[in-house]
Structure 1
Protein backbone atom coordinates (compact mmCIF):
# COMPACT_ATOMS: atom_id res chain seq x y z
CA UNK A 1 0.00 0.00 0.00
CA UNK A 2 1.20 3.48 -0.91
CA UNK A 3 0.55 6.68 1.01
CA UNK A 4 -0.28 9.63 -1.25
CA UNK A 5 2.07 12.22 0.23
CA UNK A 6 0.35 15.19 -1.41
CA UNK A 7 -3.04 14.07 -0.13
CA UNK A 8 -1.67 13.46 3.36
CA UNK A 9 -0.05 16.90 3.42
CA UNK A 10 -3.26 18.53 2.24
CA UNK A 11 -5.31 16.82 4.95
CA UNK A 12 -2.85 17.89 7.64
CA UNK A 13 -2.99 21.48 6.37
CA UNK A 14 -6.76 21.33 6.75
CA UNK A 15 -6.46 20.28 10.39
CA UNK A 16 -6.55 16.47 10.24
CA UNK A 17 -4.09 14.78 12.58
CA UNK A 18 -1.05 13.09 11.03
CA UNK A 19 -2.29 9.65 12.11
CA UNK A 20 -5.69 10.05 10.49
CA UNK A 21 -4.24 11.79 7.43
CA UNK A 22 -1.84 8.87 6.95
CA UNK A 23 -4.66 6.33 7.11
CA UNK A 24 -6.94 8.26 4.77
CA UNK A 25 -4.19 8.97 2.22
CA UNK A 26 -3.18 5.32 1.92
CA UNK A 27 -3.93 4.40 -1.71
CA UNK A 28 -6.36 7.33 -1.94
CA UNK A 29 -6.41 10.88 -3.27
CA UNK A 30 -8.86 13.59 -2.17
CA UNK A 31 -11.46 12.52 -4.72
CA UNK A 32 -11.34 8.95 -3.43
CA UNK A 33 -11.66 10.13 0.17
CA UNK A 34 -14.69 12.30 -0.59
CA UNK A 35 -16.43 9.31 -2.18
CA UNK A 36 -16.11 7.16 0.97
CA UNK A 37 -19.18 6.52 3.09
CA UNK A 38 -19.32 7.40 6.78
CA UNK A 39 -18.92 3.75 7.73
CA UNK A 40 -15.88 3.35 5.47
CA UNK A 41 -14.19 6.43 6.92
CA UNK A 42 -14.87 5.31 10.50
CA UNK A 43 -13.49 1.85 9.67
CA UNK A 44 -10.39 3.31 7.99
CA UNK A 45 -9.66 5.57 10.96
CA UNK A 46 -10.53 2.86 13.50
CA UNK A 47 -12.82 5.15 15.49
CA UNK A 48 -16.51 5.37 16.33
CA UNK A 49 -18.87 7.53 14.29
CA UNK A 50 -20.03 9.05 17.56
CA UNK A 51 -16.58 10.34 18.48
CA UNK A 52 -15.57 13.98 18.23
CA UNK A 53 -12.56 13.05 16.09
CA UNK A 54 -14.82 11.46 13.48
CA UNK A 55 -17.06 14.54 13.42
CA UNK A 56 -14.07 16.83 12.89
CA UNK A 57 -12.67 14.73 10.04
CA UNK A 58 -16.06 14.55 8.32
CA UNK A 59 -16.43 18.32 8.61
CA UNK A 60 -13.11 18.81 6.81
CA UNK A 61 -14.06 16.40 4.02
CA UNK A 62 -17.53 17.92 3.62
CA UNK A 63 -16.07 21.42 3.42
CA UNK A 64 -13.77 20.39 0.59
CA UNK A 65 -16.71 18.98 -1.33
CA UNK A 66 -18.75 22.18 -0.96
CA UNK A 67 -15.81 24.36 -2.00
CA UNK A 68 -15.31 22.26 -5.09
CA UNK A 69 -18.95 22.64 -6.07
CA UNK A 70 -18.84 26.38 -5.45
CA UNK A 71 -15.78 26.75 -7.67
CA UNK A 72 -17.43 24.82 -10.49
CA UNK A 73 -20.63 26.79 -10.15
CA UNK A 74 -18.86 30.14 -10.21
CA UNK A 75 -17.43 29.39 -13.65
CA UNK A 76 -20.87 29.14 -15.22
CA UNK A 77 -22.07 32.34 -16.90
CA UNK A 78 -25.68 32.53 -17.98
CA UNK A 79 -26.94 34.71 -20.80
CA UNK A 80 -28.67 36.89 -18.25
CA UNK A 81 -25.52 37.59 -16.19
CA UNK A 82 -23.51 38.07 -19.38
CA UNK A 83 -25.98 40.77 -20.47
CA UNK A 84 -25.49 42.56 -17.15
CA UNK A 85 -21.71 42.25 -17.50
CA UNK A 86 -21.81 43.77 -20.99
CA UNK A 87 -23.99 46.60 -19.76
CA UNK A 88 -21.72 47.41 -16.80
CA UNK A 89 -18.35 47.20 -18.55
CA UNK A 90 -16.39 50.37 -17.71
CA UNK A 91 -14.61 50.39 -21.07
CA UNK A 92 -17.88 51.27 -22.81
CA UNK A 93 -17.74 54.68 -21.15
CA UNK A 94 -14.24 55.23 -22.53
CA UNK A 95 -15.21 54.81 -26.18
CA UNK A 96 -15.37 57.85 -28.42
CA UNK A 97 -18.87 59.30 -28.43
CA UNK A 98 -19.47 61.44 -31.51
CA UNK A 99 -22.45 63.12 -29.85
CA UNK A 100 -20.18 64.60 -27.18
CA UNK A 101 -18.32 66.72 -29.73
CA UNK A 102 -19.24 70.40 -29.56
CA UNK A 103 -19.69 70.64 -33.34
CA UNK A 104 -22.11 67.70 -33.52
CA UNK A 105 -25.78 68.64 -32.94
CA UNK A 106 -28.02 66.67 -30.61
CA UNK A 107 -29.48 63.63 -32.34
CA UNK A 108 -31.94 61.02 -31.16
CA UNK A 109 -34.10 58.22 -32.49
CA UNK A 110 -37.71 59.03 -33.24
CA UNK A 111 -39.53 56.67 -30.89
CA UNK A 112 -38.18 54.02 -28.56
CA UNK A 113 -35.76 51.44 -29.90
CA UNK A 114 -37.72 48.30 -29.05
CA UNK A 115 -41.15 48.93 -30.57
CA UNK A 116 -43.29 47.12 -33.11
CA UNK A 117 -43.62 48.21 -36.74
CA UNK A 118 -47.11 49.50 -36.01
CA UNK A 119 -45.89 51.57 -33.06
CA UNK A 120 -42.96 52.86 -35.11
CA UNK A 121 -45.32 53.94 -37.90
CA UNK A 122 -47.59 55.83 -35.52
CA UNK A 123 -44.70 57.60 -33.77
CA UNK A 124 -42.99 58.62 -37.02
CA UNK A 125 -46.32 59.60 -38.56
CA UNK A 126 -47.02 62.00 -35.71
CA UNK A 127 -43.47 63.39 -35.76
CA UNK A 128 -43.36 63.98 -39.53
CA UNK A 129 -46.97 65.07 -39.95
CA UNK A 130 -46.14 68.82 -40.30
CA UNK A 131 -44.01 67.97 -43.35
CA UNK A 132 -46.96 66.23 -45.05
CA UNK A 133 -45.03 63.05 -45.81
CA UNK A 134 -47.99 60.72 -45.38
CA UNK A 135 -49.25 59.26 -48.64
CA UNK A 136 -51.58 56.48 -49.72
CA UNK A 137 -49.98 53.34 -51.16
CA UNK A 138 -52.22 51.92 -53.88
CA UNK A 139 -50.49 48.53 -53.81
CA UNK A 140 -51.00 47.87 -50.11
CA UNK A 141 -54.05 50.15 -49.88
CA UNK A 142 -52.59 51.60 -46.70
CA UNK A 143 -51.05 54.89 -45.73
CA UNK A 144 -47.27 55.05 -45.65
CA UNK A 145 -44.57 57.55 -44.78
CA UNK A 146 -42.45 58.70 -47.71
CA UNK A 147 -39.27 58.41 -45.64
CA UNK A 148 -37.19 57.96 -48.78
CA UNK A 149 -37.52 61.73 -49.28
CA UNK A 150 -35.51 62.38 -46.11
CA UNK A 151 -31.74 62.99 -46.19
CA UNK A 152 -29.89 59.71 -45.64
CA UNK A 153 -27.35 58.70 -43.02
CA UNK A 154 -25.42 55.43 -43.23
CA UNK A 155 -25.86 52.82 -40.53
CA UNK A 156 -22.06 52.83 -40.14
CA UNK A 157 -22.00 56.54 -39.26
CA UNK A 158 -20.40 57.14 -35.81
CA UNK A 159 -23.53 58.93 -34.58
CA UNK A 160 -25.75 56.02 -35.58
CA UNK A 161 -23.38 53.58 -33.89
CA UNK A 162 -23.54 55.58 -30.66
CA UNK A 163 -27.34 55.60 -30.72
CA UNK A 164 -27.40 51.90 -31.57
CA UNK A 165 -24.97 50.91 -28.82
CA UNK A 166 -26.75 53.03 -26.23
CA UNK A 167 -30.15 51.54 -27.09
CA UNK A 168 -28.83 47.96 -27.13
CA UNK A 169 -27.09 48.42 -23.78
CA UNK A 170 -30.34 49.57 -22.18
CA UNK A 171 -32.23 46.74 -23.87
CA UNK A 172 -29.71 44.19 -22.59
CA UNK A 173 -30.24 45.54 -19.08
CA UNK A 174 -33.99 45.04 -19.45
CA UNK A 175 -33.38 41.49 -20.68
CA UNK A 176 -31.17 40.81 -17.67
CA UNK A 177 -33.89 42.04 -15.32
CA UNK A 178 -36.71 40.26 -17.15
CA UNK A 179 -36.02 36.98 -19.03
CA UNK A 180 -39.41 37.35 -20.74
CA UNK A 181 -38.33 40.63 -22.36
CA UNK A 182 -38.18 40.41 -26.16
CA UNK A 183 -34.71 41.59 -27.26
CA UNK A 184 -34.00 43.85 -30.20
CA UNK A 185 -33.89 42.08 -33.55
CA UNK A 186 -30.75 42.06 -35.69
CA UNK A 187 -30.57 45.11 -37.95
CA UNK A 188 -33.35 46.81 -36.00
CA UNK A 189 -31.96 50.33 -36.51
CA UNK A 190 -32.13 50.26 -40.32
CA UNK A 191 -34.96 52.38 -41.78
CA UNK A 192 -35.36 54.27 -38.51
CA UNK A 193 -35.58 58.06 -38.41
CA UNK A 194 -33.18 60.30 -36.50
CA UNK A 195 -34.24 63.67 -35.16
CA UNK A 196 -31.49 66.30 -35.41
CA UNK A 197 -31.75 69.36 -33.16
CA UNK A 198 -29.39 72.25 -33.87
CA UNK A 199 -28.99 75.44 -31.88
CA UNK A 200 -29.80 78.52 -33.93
CA UNK A 201 -28.83 82.12 -33.04
CA UNK A 202 -31.98 83.43 -34.71
CA UNK A 203 -34.61 80.72 -34.27
CA UNK A 204 -33.33 79.27 -31.00
CA UNK A 205 -33.21 75.80 -32.51
CA UNK A 206 -33.86 74.06 -35.80
CA UNK A 207 -35.11 70.51 -36.28
CA UNK A 208 -34.32 68.18 -39.14
CA UNK A 209 -34.75 64.46 -39.80
CA UNK A 210 -32.54 61.83 -41.39
CA UNK A 211 -33.24 58.28 -42.51
CA UNK A 212 -30.84 55.50 -41.47
CA UNK A 213 -29.90 53.34 -44.46
CA UNK A 214 -27.57 50.37 -44.89
CA UNK A 215 -26.04 51.64 -48.14
CA UNK A 216 -26.12 54.46 -50.65
Structure 2
Protein backbone atom coordinates (compact mmCIF):
# COMPACT_ATOMS: atom_id res chain seq x y z
CA UNK A 1 0.00 0.00 0.00
CA UNK A 2 1.39 3.35 -1.06
CA UNK A 3 0.53 6.74 0.37
CA UNK A 4 0.27 9.45 -2.31
CA UNK A 5 2.33 12.19 -0.70
CA UNK A 6 1.00 14.95 -2.96
CA UNK A 7 -2.58 13.90 -2.25
CA UNK A 8 -1.91 13.70 1.48
CA UNK A 9 -0.39 17.18 1.47
CA UNK A 10 -3.37 18.56 -0.45
CA UNK A 11 -5.82 17.02 2.02
CA UNK A 12 -3.92 18.51 4.95
CA UNK A 13 -3.98 21.92 3.27
CA UNK A 14 -7.75 21.53 3.07
CA UNK A 15 -7.90 21.18 6.86
CA UNK A 16 -7.99 17.40 7.24
CA UNK A 17 -5.81 16.10 10.08
CA UNK A 18 -2.64 14.26 9.07
CA UNK A 19 -3.84 10.92 10.46
CA UNK A 20 -6.98 10.93 8.33
CA UNK A 21 -5.29 12.50 5.32
CA UNK A 22 -2.83 9.59 5.47
CA UNK A 23 -5.68 7.07 5.42
CA UNK A 24 -7.49 8.73 2.52
CA UNK A 25 -4.30 9.14 0.46
CA UNK A 26 -3.33 5.48 0.72
CA UNK A 27 -3.44 4.11 -2.85
CA UNK A 28 -5.68 7.00 -3.89
CA UNK A 29 -5.31 10.34 -5.65
CA UNK A 30 -7.72 13.27 -5.37
CA UNK A 31 -9.85 12.03 -8.25
CA UNK A 32 -10.29 8.66 -6.56
CA UNK A 33 -11.19 10.27 -3.22
CA UNK A 34 -13.79 12.60 -4.76
CA UNK A 35 -15.42 9.60 -6.44
CA UNK A 36 -15.74 7.66 -3.17
CA UNK A 37 -19.25 7.31 -1.68
CA UNK A 38 -19.83 8.72 1.80
CA UNK A 39 -20.05 5.28 3.42
CA UNK A 40 -16.66 4.28 2.03
CA UNK A 41 -15.04 7.52 3.20
CA UNK A 42 -16.41 6.95 6.71
CA UNK A 43 -15.11 3.39 6.63
CA UNK A 44 -11.62 4.45 5.50
CA UNK A 45 -11.48 7.15 8.17
CA UNK A 46 -12.66 4.67 10.77
CA UNK A 47 -15.38 6.97 12.10
CA UNK A 48 -19.15 7.16 11.93
CA UNK A 49 -20.98 9.46 9.57
CA UNK A 50 -22.09 11.51 12.57
CA UNK A 51 -18.53 12.19 13.65
CA UNK A 52 -17.11 15.71 13.24
CA UNK A 53 -14.06 14.26 11.49
CA UNK A 54 -16.25 12.74 8.77
CA UNK A 55 -18.33 15.92 8.46
CA UNK A 56 -15.21 18.09 8.19
CA UNK A 57 -13.68 15.85 5.53
CA UNK A 58 -16.87 15.85 3.46
CA UNK A 59 -17.20 19.64 3.72
CA UNK A 60 -13.59 20.09 2.62
CA UNK A 61 -14.09 17.84 -0.41
CA UNK A 62 -17.35 19.59 -1.30
CA UNK A 63 -15.68 23.01 -1.07
CA UNK A 64 -12.89 21.81 -3.35
CA UNK A 65 -15.45 20.77 -5.95
CA UNK A 66 -17.18 24.16 -5.75
CA UNK A 67 -13.88 26.01 -6.23
CA UNK A 68 -13.09 23.97 -9.32
CA UNK A 69 -16.55 24.60 -10.73
CA UNK A 70 -16.20 28.36 -10.23
CA UNK A 71 -12.79 28.29 -11.86
CA UNK A 72 -14.23 26.51 -14.89
CA UNK A 73 -17.08 29.01 -15.14
CA UNK A 74 -14.60 31.82 -15.82
CA UNK A 75 -13.50 30.20 -19.06
CA UNK A 76 -14.78 31.80 -22.24
CA UNK A 77 -15.46 29.57 -25.21
CA UNK A 78 -14.70 31.15 -28.56
CA UNK A 79 -16.00 29.43 -31.63
CA UNK A 80 -13.72 28.64 -34.53
CA UNK A 81 -15.86 30.85 -36.76
CA UNK A 82 -15.38 33.81 -34.42
CA UNK A 83 -11.62 33.31 -34.57
CA UNK A 84 -11.69 33.12 -38.35
CA UNK A 85 -13.84 36.25 -38.59
CA UNK A 86 -11.48 38.10 -36.28
CA UNK A 87 -8.48 37.05 -38.35
CA UNK A 88 -10.22 38.20 -41.52
CA UNK A 89 -10.87 41.63 -40.04
CA UNK A 90 -7.20 41.99 -39.16
CA UNK A 91 -5.86 40.61 -42.42
CA UNK A 92 -3.64 43.02 -44.27
CA UNK A 93 -3.27 45.44 -41.37
CA UNK A 94 0.19 46.61 -40.36
CA UNK A 95 1.32 48.52 -37.33
CA UNK A 96 2.44 52.06 -38.16
CA UNK A 97 5.34 52.90 -35.88
CA UNK A 98 4.72 56.62 -36.41
CA UNK A 99 1.45 56.26 -34.51
CA UNK A 100 3.27 55.22 -31.33
CA UNK A 101 3.20 57.85 -28.59
CA UNK A 102 6.95 57.50 -27.96
CA UNK A 103 7.94 58.02 -31.61
CA UNK A 104 8.39 61.69 -32.60
CA UNK A 105 6.87 63.11 -35.77
CA UNK A 106 9.12 62.48 -38.77
CA UNK A 107 8.78 63.49 -42.40
CA UNK A 108 10.82 63.78 -45.57
CA UNK A 109 12.13 67.21 -46.46
CA UNK A 110 11.33 68.04 -50.12
CA UNK A 111 14.56 68.11 -52.12
CA UNK A 112 13.93 71.70 -53.22
CA UNK A 113 13.59 72.80 -49.58
CA UNK A 114 16.64 71.05 -48.15
CA UNK A 115 18.99 74.01 -48.60
CA UNK A 116 16.54 76.44 -47.00
CA UNK A 117 15.70 74.24 -44.00
CA UNK A 118 19.33 73.31 -43.32
CA UNK A 119 20.59 76.89 -43.68
CA UNK A 120 20.86 77.49 -39.88
CA UNK A 121 23.42 74.67 -39.66
CA UNK A 122 25.79 76.22 -42.19
CA UNK A 123 26.07 73.11 -44.34
CA UNK A 124 26.41 75.03 -47.59
CA UNK A 125 29.97 74.57 -48.83
CA UNK A 126 32.01 74.76 -52.03
CA UNK A 127 32.78 71.58 -53.91
CA UNK A 128 36.55 71.25 -54.29
CA UNK A 129 36.31 69.52 -57.68
CA UNK A 130 33.67 71.61 -59.42
CA UNK A 131 33.96 74.84 -57.46
CA UNK A 132 30.18 74.96 -57.17
CA UNK A 133 28.29 75.33 -53.92
CA UNK A 134 26.70 72.22 -52.51
CA UNK A 135 24.93 71.05 -49.38
CA UNK A 136 27.19 68.93 -47.17
CA UNK A 137 24.39 66.61 -46.06
CA UNK A 138 26.90 63.92 -45.16
CA UNK A 139 27.64 65.88 -41.98
CA UNK A 140 24.15 65.19 -40.66
CA UNK A 141 23.49 62.31 -38.25
CA UNK A 142 22.66 59.16 -40.21
CA UNK A 143 19.64 56.87 -40.18
CA UNK A 144 19.54 53.58 -42.07
CA UNK A 145 17.06 53.12 -44.88
CA UNK A 146 15.97 49.91 -43.13
CA UNK A 147 14.83 51.84 -40.05
CA UNK A 148 11.13 51.06 -39.31
CA UNK A 149 10.17 54.74 -39.45
CA UNK A 150 11.93 55.22 -42.78
CA UNK A 151 10.23 52.13 -44.17
CA UNK A 152 6.79 53.44 -43.17
CA UNK A 153 7.51 56.79 -44.84
CA UNK A 154 8.82 54.99 -47.93
CA UNK A 155 5.73 52.80 -48.29
CA UNK A 156 3.35 55.70 -47.63
CA UNK A 157 5.07 57.95 -50.17
CA UNK A 158 5.21 55.26 -52.85
CA UNK A 159 1.54 54.39 -52.33
CA UNK A 160 0.50 58.04 -52.62
CA UNK A 161 2.70 58.50 -55.70
CA UNK A 162 1.19 55.47 -57.43
CA UNK A 163 -2.37 56.51 -56.53
CA UNK A 164 -1.87 60.03 -57.91
CA UNK A 165 -0.45 58.69 -61.15
CA UNK A 166 -2.81 55.72 -61.63
CA UNK A 167 -4.60 57.38 -64.55
CA UNK A 168 -1.43 58.68 -66.16
CA UNK A 169 -0.30 56.36 -68.96
CA UNK A 170 3.18 57.87 -68.85
CA UNK A 171 3.49 57.35 -65.12
CA UNK A 172 6.99 56.40 -64.05
CA UNK A 173 7.30 54.73 -60.63
CA UNK A 174 9.86 55.96 -58.18
CA UNK A 175 13.26 54.40 -58.91
CA UNK A 176 14.83 51.84 -56.62
CA UNK A 177 16.82 53.46 -53.86
CA UNK A 178 15.08 56.81 -54.35
CA UNK A 179 15.04 57.35 -50.60
CA UNK A 180 18.82 57.21 -50.15
CA UNK A 181 20.53 60.55 -49.48
CA UNK A 182 17.21 62.19 -48.57
CA UNK A 183 16.85 64.33 -45.45
CA UNK A 184 14.50 63.29 -42.66
CA UNK A 185 13.01 65.96 -40.40
CA UNK A 186 12.40 64.91 -36.78
CA UNK A 187 10.10 67.03 -34.62
CA UNK A 188 10.09 66.27 -30.90
CA UNK A 189 7.62 67.82 -28.48
CA UNK A 190 8.42 68.10 -24.79
CA UNK A 191 6.41 69.68 -21.94
CA UNK A 192 9.65 71.17 -20.58
CA UNK A 193 11.70 71.96 -23.69
CA UNK A 194 8.85 72.78 -26.06
CA UNK A 195 9.50 71.75 -29.66
CA UNK A 196 12.88 70.70 -31.00
CA UNK A 197 13.69 70.01 -34.64
CA UNK A 198 16.49 67.80 -35.88
CA UNK A 199 17.53 66.48 -39.28
CA UNK A 200 19.00 63.12 -40.26
CA UNK A 201 20.40 61.78 -43.51
CA UNK A 202 18.95 58.52 -44.84
CA UNK A 203 21.72 56.14 -45.90
CA UNK A 204 21.73 52.61 -47.31
CA UNK A 205 24.54 51.37 -45.09
CA UNK A 206 26.54 52.41 -42.06
CA RMSD of the aligned region, Å? 1.6
Counterpart position of 1:105: 104
1:154-165 correspondence runs (5 A):
154-165=144-155
TM-score by length of 1: 0.51
Separation of aligned partners in 1, 2:91 and 2:174: 22
Counterpart position of 1:199: 189
TM-score by length of 2: 0.54
Q: Match for 1:130 among 113, 120, 124?
A: 120
Aligned residues: 117
1:91 to partner: Cα distance: 5.5
Pick the structure with greater CA Rg: 2
C-alpha change, 1:203 and 1:126, in structure 2 (3 Å) is same
Separation of aligned partners in 2, 1:105 and 1:209: 12
Q: Secondary structure at the match of 2:201?
A: strand
Q: Would the aligned equivalents of 1:98 and 1:104 in 2 still touch at CA under 8 Å?
A: yes
Separation of aligned partners in 1, 2:91 and 2:149: 18
Q: Deviations over 1:86-134 (max 9, x none)?
A: xxxx955x111110111000000001xxxxxxxx2x4110110111110
Q: Which runs of 5+ in 2 are unaligned?
A: 1-89
Q: Which runs of 5+ in 1 are unaligned?
A: 1-89, 112-119
